[in-house]
A and B are shown apart, each in its own frame.
Chain A
């Protein structure tokens, strides 16, 4: 267990700035999710932390000590790859034993560790099998056990759930987080899936174009997005970003609700919306609309409960309202969030 610190971390490939200056401090035992679209530099950042990629500039500190120039094996970092990278010719047992053998852990201690890790993940019945005969979920557990056995200073996960079936993924998510809570190992979790980042991370670093756009708790990122990128990336569907009066107004779809006539007051903000389409999503309905006030013709999304959706009609003109305290304001030139504006 240890802290992790990144100082001015950069990686250039020729003229491409894959990672363009990252500063972050991760506390001991913290679960940090790095979230971003593909090509944002999150994988490169992770690989530099693991030592698989040498930074062009900057430093990586684990437990307060610089490991920038150390090879991966000298960093005591554990990693679970997206593909799980199990050694195909070794049994599950040999796979789990590999990092221990590489470190010269004595046999009795090794056996005890393997027993502990395989019991924790419930894979004892699989120990004699070869990876080729495991399901995706089983492979993931074996990879976790292998990364767990040697008391790493740091866990690095590279999209470990993305090759699982959708049904298994939700369970795996909570199991992974519970495992973290039980072992307390500092964790860096790279993903492009915001549900994983929001659901698992103590804090999230959102990356774009090789930079961290915002680093904070999931609630901070969701409620107080630092800029239009974060606002437009988080949330499903993401925040409505409407041009209005030299500013960009951000409205979460679940805050934009149809208002019965005469119910508005000065605490709320009104919009006239032409409803184009109603979409059933199970627990919610999604309303696709076009703005008829202010910046006309802009698309807006609203998420409502089935009870409310039943009162709406496609093609109708409808008043929507938002609590003023739910509005977020952004500078159109920089994209940064400005003061929460007039209430």
Chain B
């Protein structure tokens, strides 16, 4: 028999306040060091006259860097392209993620293969993916061009002829289309997993009830499934939009913003200006350009998701 006054040692695990602080500390330090400091540094840079040659932050110039960037001819093009690519990727990704989650929520033969294929783009190293896409859309050796030629859509005397190649990375709309497609390809797995999590959480009885109530596939999809998925579609959409809008790898590996500025995007342009061009302060200004808009968008989306969820 244990005596009633047996002493129990109070360990660190019992002190929730202290334990919580200790466990949060690494994450807090990490975010502060790798997100917080660079962010404020970027703001400071954007308001200064710093260059690669003289990176010290002195000489406060106010919003001059922003004004200067806005007056460059590349700015409206890059801004427009960034918005187009982001919106197109967003729409395509959400539509495909919804379709894919509808597929994967069902049981069918060979489902595991689909699941692996679905996750593959995500697991693929960026360098390997880049090689893939460079080859797939190569100006000389593109297999897509070959397929189109076999289908008599490309080449002399065909609807898209007379050239034998489409030169995906060399034309404005094909270039933007290619960037969008690669973005969709790379972000679809994440979006699908988010949406699928929401889809599996909807009780099966709701769908059975809708079937008995007389709803066909599309009525169920648009009146039941999508409204119920809305909070997660917002989250998936936000992830997608932020990842696309801030990304420069895809454009850097494919069109490099060309021809001219035709397929230029804001983040890559900021990189070119700030790092390649040496105008550190102007690059920072361009990179920060969309921050307020993105922040407002993110806050709005999260509030919407929260509201829809609490109902």
- Residues on A lying within 8 angstroms of B by beta carbon are 50-52, 71-73, 77-79, 81-83, 85, 87-90, 98-99, 102-103, 130, 132, 146, 150
| Alpha-carbon distance A150/B213, docked complex (angstroms) | 9
Decide: B228 and A89 in contact? CB cutoff 8 A: yes
Considering only residues 162-178 of chain B, those with a C-beta below 8 Å from chain A are none
Q: Which of A52, A73, A89, A132 contacts B213 (CB 8 A)?
A: A73
CA distance A98 to B224 in the complex (A): 10
Does B159 reach chain A (CB closer than 8 Å)? no
Given contacts A83-B203, A85-B205, A88-B228, A98 and B215 within 8 Å (CB-CB): yes
Q: Is the CB of B211 within 8 A of A87?
A: no
Are A71 and B211 also in contact (CB < 8 A) when A88-B228, A89-B227 are?
yes
Chain B residues whose CB sits within 8 angstroms of the CB of A72 once the complex forms: 208, 211-212
Set A73, A87, A99: member contacting B216, Cβ < 8 A: A73
Q: Which residues of A contact B230 (CB under 8 A)?
A: 89
> By the criterion CB–CB under 8 Å, are B311 and A79 in contact?
no
Question: How far apart sit A88 and B224, CA to CA, in the bound complex (Å)?
Answer: 9
**B11 is an interface residue with CB less than 8 A from chain A:** no
Interchain CB contact (< 8 A) of A87 among B206, B208, B212, B214: B206
B308 at the interface (CB under 8 A from A): yes
Q: List 22 A-B contacts (CB under 8 A).
A: A51-B212, A52-B211, A72-B208, A77-B212, A79-B209, A83-B205, A85-B208, A85-B209, A87-B209, A87-B224, A88-B228, A88-B311, A89-B227, A89-B230, A89-B308, A98-B213, A98-B215, A99-B213, A102-B213, A103-B214, A130-B311, A150-B214
Which residues on A sit within 8 Å (CB–CB) of B223? 98
Considering the chains assembled together, what is the distance between the CA atoms of A71 and B206 in angstroms?
16
Q: Which residue of B lies closest to A88 (CB)?
A: B228
Q: How far is the CA of A286 from the CA of B270 in the complex (A)?
A: 86
| B306 shortest CB reach to chain A, Å | 14
| Contact present for B311 and A52 (CB under 8 Å) | no
User: Hey, which bits of chain B sit against chain A, CB under 8 A?
Assistant: 203, 205-206, 208-216, 219, 223-224, 227-228, 230, 308, 311
Tell which of B208, B211, B213 has the most Cβ of chain A within 10 Å.
Answer: B213
Is there an interface contact between B215 and A81, defined as CB atoms closer than 8 Å?
no
User: What is the bound-complex CA distance between A90 and B228, given in angstroms?
Assistant: 10
Q: Among B214, B227, B308, point to the contact of A102 (Cβ < 8 A).
A: B214
Residues of B within 8 A of A90 (CB): 227
Cα A89 to Cα B212 with chains together (Å): 18
Compute how far the CA of A98 lies from the CA of B207 in the bound complex, rounded to whole angstroms. Answer: 13
A47: nearest residue on chain B (CB-CB)? B208
Q: Given A79, A83, A88, A132, which contacts B212 in the complex, CB threshold below 8 Å?
A: A79
CA distance A99 to B223 in the complex (A): 12
Complex Cα spacing A50 to B209, Å: 10
With A102-B219, A132-B311 known as contacts, the answer to whether A81 contacts B205 (CB < 8 A) is: yes
Q: Is the CB of A146 within 8 A of B213?
A: yes
A52 contacts B206, C-beta separation under 8 Å: no
Chain B residues within an 8 Å CB radius of A52: 208, 211-212
How close is A256's CB to chain B, nearest CB, in angstroms? 44
Which residue of the partner chain A has the closest CB to B213?
Answer: A99
A279 to B209, CA, bound (A): 44
In the complex, residue of chain A having the shortest beta-carbon distance to the beta carbon of B308:
A89
Cβ-neighbour of A73 out of B203, B214, B308 (below 8 A): B214
Cβ-neighbour of B311 out of A81, A89, A103 (below 8 A): A89
Kindly report which residue of chain A lies nearest to residue B202, judged by CB atoms: A88
B108 CB to nearest chain A CB (Å): 16
Contact partners of B206 in chain A: CB under 8 A: 85, 87-88
- Bound Cα distance from A78 to B211, whole angstroms: 10
Contacts of A98 in B (CB 8 A): 210, 213, 215, 223
Q: Which residues of B contact A79 (CB under 8 A)?
A: 208-209, 212
List B contacts of A146 (CB < 8 A): 213
* Chain B min CB distance to A215 (Å): 25
Closest CB pairs A-B (n = 3): A85-B209, A102-B214, A99-B213
Q: Is the CB of A73 within 8 A of B212?
A: yes
A77 to B228, CA, bound (A): 25
Which residues of chain A have C-beta atoms less than 8 A from B215's C-beta? 73, 98, 102
A50 to B208 CA separation, bound complex (whole angstroms): 10
Q: How many angstroms between the C-alpha atoms of A50 and B205 in the bound complex?
A: 13
Instruction: Tell me, in angstroms, the Cα distance from A50 to B210 when the chains sit together.
Output: 12
For the complex, what is the distance from the CA of A291 to the CA of B219, rounded to whole Å?
64
In the docked arrangement, what's the CA distance between A52 and B204, Å?
Answer: 11
Please give, as numbers and ranges, the residues of chain A lying within 8 Å of B214 by CB-CB distance: 73, 99, 102-103, 150
Q: With the chains together, A71 CA to B205 CA distance in Å?
A: 16
Cα A78 to Cα B205 with chains together (Å): 13
| Least CB separation from A94: chain B residue | B223
A85 near B219: Cβ-Cβ < 8 Å: no
Query: Which residue of chain A lies nearest to B220 when distances are taken between CB atoms in the complex?
Result: A102
What are the residues of chain B within 8 A of A71 when measuring CB–CB?
Answer: 211
The residue on B at minimum CB distance from A150 is B214
- A85 close to B224 (CB less than 8 A): no
B134 to chain A, nearest CB (A): 44
**Contact A81 B209, CB 8 Å, known A87-B224, A102-B219:** yes
Measured CB to CB, the nearest residue on chain B to A83 is: B205
Q: Which residues of A contact B205 (CB under 8 A)?
A: 81-83, 85
Q: What is the distance, in angstroms, from A54's C-beta to the closest C-beta of chain B?
A: 13
Are A85 and B203 closer than 8 Å at their CB atoms?
yes
Extra pairs beyond A72-B208, A73-B211, A73-B216 (8, CB < 8 Å)? A51-B212, A52-B208, A72-B211, A79-B209, A82-B205, A89-B311, A102-B213, A132-B311
